[in-house]
Amino acid sequence: MRVAFTVNGEDMAAEDVWPGESLLYVLRERLGLPGSKNACEQGECGSCTVYLDGVTVCACMVAAGQAAGRAVRTVEGLAASGGAGPAPDSRLSSVQEAFVEAGAVQCGFCTPGLVVQADDLLARTVRAGGPAPGDAEIREALAGNLCRCTGYEKIIEAVRTAAEHEERAVRRGGAR
């Protein structure tokens, strides 16, 4: 079957899709977007987290056909479309930049899912004019994303930093 939807604002279509294929498979193997990761393909690890019509989902648990006609945003599109980047020409969003700077990236396999999920947390809090999330709130928001390398300490630090950065940007009225 043919499946068409928008990815990171661009119209895309995949041909000859077998109905059993997941959105994750189509993104990775048919559309050349392997940023979303395939760590468990059981909906347990969060490494394939993408936005589907603005809601974060595990792309491995969404049949490709369910995405037809809808808007998908992946880690590859995060810098362009979400968050207040540290500089207008940066290829990283503020969350991604904070992950790199804090040392929250080791092997990096969980990182794409985590930065999408953290982006969603900031969208719901500081970008909506609310206060920066506390540690307990950060932990709850990221509880569905497994990381095996870091022990999570640097991840919390990164999200905290990104939240503060965006909070300042919102106060200055500089958020997109």
Partner 1 sequence: MSQTPAARARGDAGSAAGTRAGLSSTARGGVGTSPPRPDGALKAAGEFAFSSDMWMEDMLWGMTLRSPHPHALIRAIDTAEALAVPGVHAVLTHEDVPGEKRYGLETRDQPVLAFGKVRYKGEPVAVVAADHPETARRALARVRVDYEVLEPIADARRAAFDPDCPLVHEEGVPAHPEYNQRGNIVRHQPVRTGAFAEGADAADLRARAAAVVRGEYRVGMQDQAFLGPESGLAVPAPDGGVDLYIATQWLHVDQSQIAPCLGLEQERVRMTLAGVGGAFGAREDLSMQIHACMLALRTGRPVKFVYNREESFFGHVHRHPAAMRFEHGADADGRLLYATLEIVLDGGAYASTTAAVVGVASSLGVGPYEIPHVSVDAYGVYTTNPPCGAMRGFGAVQACFGYESQMDRLAAKLGMHPVELRRRNALAQGSRVATGQRIDMPLPMAEMLERVRAMPMPARRGELADPADPRTLPGGLANTSRGERVVRGVGYGVGLKNLCFSESFDDYSTARVRLEAIGGEPAALVHTAAAEVGQGLVTLQGQIAHTELGVERVTVHPADTSVGSAGSSSASRQSYVTGGAVKAACEAVRERVFALVRERGLVAPDHPAGDLALEGGKVVSAARGVLAPLAEVLGTGAVEETRVFRHRPTRALDPTTGQGDSHVQFGMCVHRAVVDVDVELGLVKVVALDAVQDVGRAMHPRQLLGQIQGGSAQGLGLALMEEVQVADGVIRNPSFTDYLIPTILDTPPMRIEVLEHADPHAPYGLRGAGEPPTLSSTPAIVAAVRDATGRPLTRAPVRPEDIAGVGD
Which of 7, 58, 110, 163 contacts partner 1 by CB under 8 A? 110
Distance set, CA 4 to CA 10, 25, 69, 70, 129 (Å): 11, 14, 6, 8, 34
Indicate the residue among 151 and 173 with the shorter CB distance to partner 1: 151
What are residue 53's phi and psi, to 5 degrees?
50, 45
Q: Is 115 in the site for partner 1 (CB under 8 A)?
A: yes
Residues 130-149, interacting with partner 1 (CB under 8 A): 136, 138-140, 142-149
Name 5's bridge partners: 12
Helix/strand/coil percent split, the chain, to 5: 40, 15, 45
Q: Is 53 in the site for partner 1 (CB under 8 A)?
A: no
Name 34's bridge partners: none
| Span from 32-40, 81-89, 124-132, 161-169 in contact with partner 1 (CB under 8 A) | 32-40
Which of 63, 71, 100, 175 contacts partner 1 by CB under 8 A? 100
Task: Check residue 29 and report its DSSP letter.
Answer: I
Site size toward partner 1 (CB under 8 A) is 59
Q: Is 8 in the site for partner 1 (CB under 8 A)?
A: no
For residues 126 and 89, is the Cβ–Cβ distance under 8 A? no
Judged by the rule CB under 8 A, the positions of this chain that interact with partner 1 are 18, 20, 28-29, 32-42, 44-45, 47, 74-76, 78-79, 91-92, 96-97, 99-101, 103, 105-112, 115, 136, 138-140, 142-156
